[in-house]
Amino acid sequence: MAINRQKKEELVALYKEHIEKSSALVFTDYRGATVGKINSLRDRMRSNDSAYIVTKKTLLNLALQQSGRTLDVSNVMDGSTAVAFLGDDIGTSVKALKDWIKAEGDVVRITGAVLETDVLNVTQSEALADLPTREQMLAKLLATIIAPASQLVRTINEPGASLARVLKAHADKEAA
């Protein structure tokens, strides 16, 4: 189905908006997936602050160029291409995508990804699911920040605790 120039410009603007809001893009081949399955994947991705859009390859390339990402993504746009535009939590979003693919019987296949200015192959794209979630990273950061303070508190309290143990031992010795 041919689309007119105005519709193409609207699609490029939509793709560009999603590209600029996304921390990463994951390319998929959706050949064989029904509309119902694609819609269920869209719902899953939406719940992870991401978007899943069936794209026109040439218009997506144009949007990438207009967004300042002059990348050769031809090797990751294989077959019928749809793109998962990921939010801030890349690990959680890719994990949700992989879990959905596994649950639905591999009707969608990851073909690659774009992270910042790097084009990733299939293996690297799937490895994004192993990234820690935002909450895990914040917890690690907080633990790193708190560790010296808690060690300082233990160091300050230790002389008083040692004195208390010596006095208790002395009192127990006299009581016996």
Q: State pLDDT tens for residues 26-72.
A: 888 888 888 989 999 899 899 888 999 998 888 988 888 888 877 77
pLDDT value of position 132: 67
pLDDT value of position 85: 92
pLDDT value of position 148: 75
* Residue 1 pLDDT grade (very low, low, confident, very high; cuts 50, 70, 90): low
Into which CATH architecture does domain 5-131 fall?
2-Layer Sandwich (3.30)
Torsion of CA 104, 106, 108, 112, to 10 degrees: 130
Domains of the chain, residue spans: 5-131, 132-176
Residue 69: closest CA among 34, 115, 112? 115
Phi, psi of 153 (to 5 degrees): -60, -45
Distances (CA, A) of 82 to 103, 108, 162: 19, 9, 66
Distances (CA, A) of 56 to 24, 29, 114, 152, 160: 18, 12, 17, 59, 71
pTM: 0.71
Cβ atoms within 10 Å of 114's Cβ, excluding its own? 22
Q: Coil, strand or helix: which one is 1?
A: coil
Q: Picking from 82-86, 99-103, 171-175, which range would have the lowest pLDDT averaged per residue?
A: 171-175
Structure token digits, residue 176: 């016996």
